[in-house]
Amino acid sequence: MDMEDISGKRTAFGMRERRAAKDRLQPALLDRLTDNEPLKKKETRDSVMITYDTLRHAVLRDLRWVLNTVNIETVDDLDAFPQVRNSTVNFGVEALAGRRMSEIDWVDMEQSIKNAIIHFEPRILADSLEVACVSEVTALEHHNVLSLEIRGKLWCNPYPREFLFRTDIDLESGHMDLQEQGAL
């Protein structure tokens, strides 16, 4: 698109288009390697760059994968292998299925989930990440579901953007239903 009018002056529309193109983000490697249109021989510019909303949805999808995967540390002692503890071999979180609400130390669980997110989701700025249990004590007596809020900032160009996700953890199945609560 031409950024100059007939007289050769830069137009506001052209400047806005140029700034918008500069502020677009690249998708994660997995998304770049996934061919959603295998019959097309050339990629469009839109498939190479993504918007903030697309980034937020991709992070939400990837966090669902992290939070719904049981890590190897749940079944094997990794004290002798500190490198494995922090590698993709240990992808996921500790198993919560089959545990009672009274057996769970909320602070430890919040920290465990926060550590998994920091290790496996680099698009979230670690120093901005907060994980907090938000279940009410009266609700805990009737349901075996624990609720968490996950908030922080996504690395974006030109500046980080805030997000808020909420997950309900079904302690019978271990499934975490992560939902977007909106951008802050």
Whether residues 38 and 77 fall in one domain: no
pLDDT of residue 2: 46
Domain range for residue 3?
Answer: 1-50
pLDDT of residue 136: 65
pLDDT of residue 3: 47
Whether residues 87 and 132 fall in one domain: yes
Whether residues 95 and 147 fall in one domain: yes
Whether residues 66 and 103 fall in one domain: yes
Whether residues 9 and 71 fall in one domain: no
DSSP per residue, 148-166: EEEEEEE--SSS-EEEEEE
Exposed/middle/buried for residue 169 (C-beta within 10 Å: 0-12, 13-18, 19+)? buried
Q: What is the mean pLDDT of each run of 10 residues along the chain (184 residues)?
A: 52 51 66 76 72 89 94 89 88 85 85 94 96 72 80 90 92 88 68
pTM, whole model, 2 decimals? 0.76
Whether residues 9 and 91 fall in one domain: no
Q: Residue 56 to residues 50, 60, 154, 160: CA-CA distances in angstroms? A: 10, 6, 8, 12
Read off the DSSP letter of residue 132: E
Whether residues 27 and 60 fall in one domain: no
Whether residues 58 and 125 fall in one domain: yes
Q: Please report, for the domain that includes residue 144, its CATH number.
A: 3.10.450.40
| Residue 156, CB-side half-sphere exposure with 13 Å CA sphere | 20
Among 170, 166, 135, smallest CA distance to 151 is for 166
Among 120, 124, 123, smallest CA distance to 150 is for 124
In the chain, how many domains are there? 2
